[in-house]
A and B are shown apart, each in its own frame.
Chain A
Amino acid sequence: MIVAGLALEAISCTMYFTSRAAIRHEAQKRAETELRKAELEIELHTIELETAAKTLALIAERHVDCPDSIYMATDLAVRTMREHTSVAVAYVPDYFMEKGRYFEVCSSRITEDSVHTRQIGSDSHDYTEMEWFQNGFVHDSCWWCEPYMDDSGSEEPVVSCSYPVHNGKGEVVAVVCVDMALGYLQRKLPEYLKVYKNSFYSIRSSKGGDIVRAMDTVPGRKYNTFNEEIDATGWHIEIIIPEDEMFADLNRVGRIVGILMLIGLVLLALMLVHSSRTTQKLIESTARNQRMENELYVAGAIQTAMLPKVFPPFRDVLNVNVYGTVKPAKEVGGDLYDFYVRHDKLFFCIGDVSGKGVPASLVMAMTRSLFRSITSHDEDAASVMGKMNKAFVEQNTQNMFLTLFIGILDCRTGMLEYCNAGHNAPISIQQSAVSIQPLPVMANLPLGVEGEWVFQAQQMQLAYDDVLFLYTDGLTEAERSTHEQFGEERMMKELAISDYRLGSPRQIVERMQASVETFVDGAEQSDDLTMMAIRYQHPALIMRNDIEQIPTLAEWIDSIGVPEELSMPINLALEEIVTNVMLYAYPGKSGQVLVECNKAVSDQPSAIRLIFTITDSGIPFDPTKKEEVDTTLSAEERPIGGLGIHLVRQIMDEVSYERVEDKNVLTLVKNV
């Protein structure tokens, strides 16, 4: 802003001073031109008057003895001249005895037509005292006197040109005088010398007398003076121009430019102020948005923290494995899942609040705490659902509703009691029947619609290795950019593959997630996506990192009921892995190792997979990275160690390692 102002100022100053110099130069040229014109005019006039003087002198010399003839001569001389003037011939005192002491014949033009001629010499008009008369004796040529007041002819200030008249002996006997009225100069010259409206001029004689007197200058006002000398008369002409007059136009333009510039600067300043305010507002609103985003992020984190993060094994219940995820479309979502174990029972639910974002997330939080508080003293699924509905209806001021599925699984018996309130039916994967189909659910109303609705519960007996897959419609309605939906068919197909291939709830959910992401191919997620998988399984084996616990492995394998011929090799493979964990995963401290077994059945082709999962939370270690031992070496060359992982690879059909959060997860698969 300041820089812009200074730049403009610099430009305008440069322009101003350049223009000033140009104007001064122009004024000087103009003044000089006008001065020359004026000089010419004066010269022409003076030559005319001088010629008249000379002519009259010649005539007077011819008639030097005849005083009366001079009357006609002066009269004629006045008549021949353009300008009104007076002409006189004054003789030396007592030249004509009969005419008295003073004899001066003078002719003056009175009007256009009449000329007044008379003798004006007298005691009271003693011309001999006058300068012009005396000049006649001093200068033998035309000579202009200093200005004086003509008291005889025109009675105005005049300058006079004198020329001597000689007698036969060459003595000066008379002087011819031709007047030039100063009024003439004052009338005639402004035509040339008024260069500006308020400029003025002066003419001074060679002796400094004012022929045309300059106007008084005003103190403090600056003037520019241009002058010229008139050769014929020795006069000085001066043109005096007030500086403010000379630069009036420039100053006016300068003022206009200045005002415009000021307006420009003010506008610029206003724009700057405005834009800085806008920027400030932008910064503020950005900061506000940032804060809101941060808050939403925190809210999202809180919401995620509400969901169970620690997955089984549970302390007492070793035969359920649960895994769930919520992927909100926005920072916070309206989907929820929850599970926990109490009295050998797994309480779980999955739900979808109508709407998205913050309002939905609040309902979600409320639902989750209702679920926890009601199930803490009520183990009847229908009753729990009814109480939740009532509480929800009472607090539901926003006409929101919620679809919810509640399950209570008795881990000792595998009996599942469930109640569905308008939610998508979970998918039941029953290994023994090799069937994947939706759980039969009653068409209850969603929560929040009708406070008095009587919910009905259902039951199902689960067998080991059965899986329940629960989801919200964010899964089946996930859209790719062409608006094609992921759909149930794709979901079922994916479940069949992943259950058989992988088995663990976490792997089933993660594989489904990956499958959906591949399907939508980067299209924006429009709805919250929640999935939960629950496997009812043979109780897992938990061991401390104590070698002495190894024998329990054999008992556990016997209890799973693997084919007899596989018992020993499986035992060996598991022992090798477990030993490794016990010896190396927890250096210097105690830790656990968890062994799980899932049976996966496929009828296309008919096959059974035994999937063993060994989990520890020790230091990261991938046993599959261990180099293969060379079994062809001789006993001398064979290293003592390294046999364990080799045996595991030999016995098992698949060996894979994953580091999941802070856990080592090794999966061993044996196809039966």
Chain B
Amino acid sequence: MTSILKITDLHVATPEGKEILRGVNLEIKRGEVHALMGPNGSGKSTLGYAIMGHPGYEVTKGTITLDGQDVLAMEPNQRARAGIFLAFQRPMAIPGVKMADFLRHATTNVRRPDRKEGEELIPMREFRKELTDKMTQLRMDKEFARRYVNEGFSGGEMKRAEILQLAMLRPKFAILDETDSGLDVDAVRLASQSIADIGGREMGILIITHHEHLLEHNRPDYTHVILGGRIVETGGPELAVELHKQGYDRIRAAHPMAAADEAAMKEQSTETIAAH
């Protein structure tokens, strides 16, 4: 049976009560690539965080299920162990923690979801070999494994580190949150190629992006457009091309209510910024 990640009527708000998602519906099957596009502030990243369980985003309504299991009832680490992965747009630096140590813990936990804290990790030799293989495949310098997690990484290095984690954890579903942002065209191509190389096709992928380059090697089966906290249109790969070339004016005109919500959300966030 093919795994399905199903999002139904999802409403998400910040702790201050600001509603960001207003009824998102989305169904991703394992093996499918979905692109999620939309203007800034339309709720793309929020969707990724909500699926992964970020404590700063409150689900006020709706459901997320993975093969019928209630994802919303799970802690973030249980979601990871259930096979969900989020590649962060801005990954956190963890000073003093080596990539290899971090990845060994992560990989062990995800592969042995019932592992209790303090139990054995994947044997060092076995893990090292696999990590080295994956890094070679991704054309990453071996030195990378000894560096501290995301500390002093360039934008490109951070994104590649996320892809390396994706490669090691081999989730059922991956959400790539603007894995292309801050990268030049060549770096985006490399990232795109890498995702395909590590077997992206075996996962269900949700690619959140502004650009079409990331989609080059990962041609989407579906393209969704999010506006004002709702998915307003779904199409094929051609929709991604159109949005990239022509922007969102047509979408706004076709969905005046969502466009109004978008404008309202923007104003709200401007106020929030001003208030700080």
Co-complex (A, B)? no
A-side residues, CB < 8 A to B, are none
B-side residues, CB < 8 A to A, are none
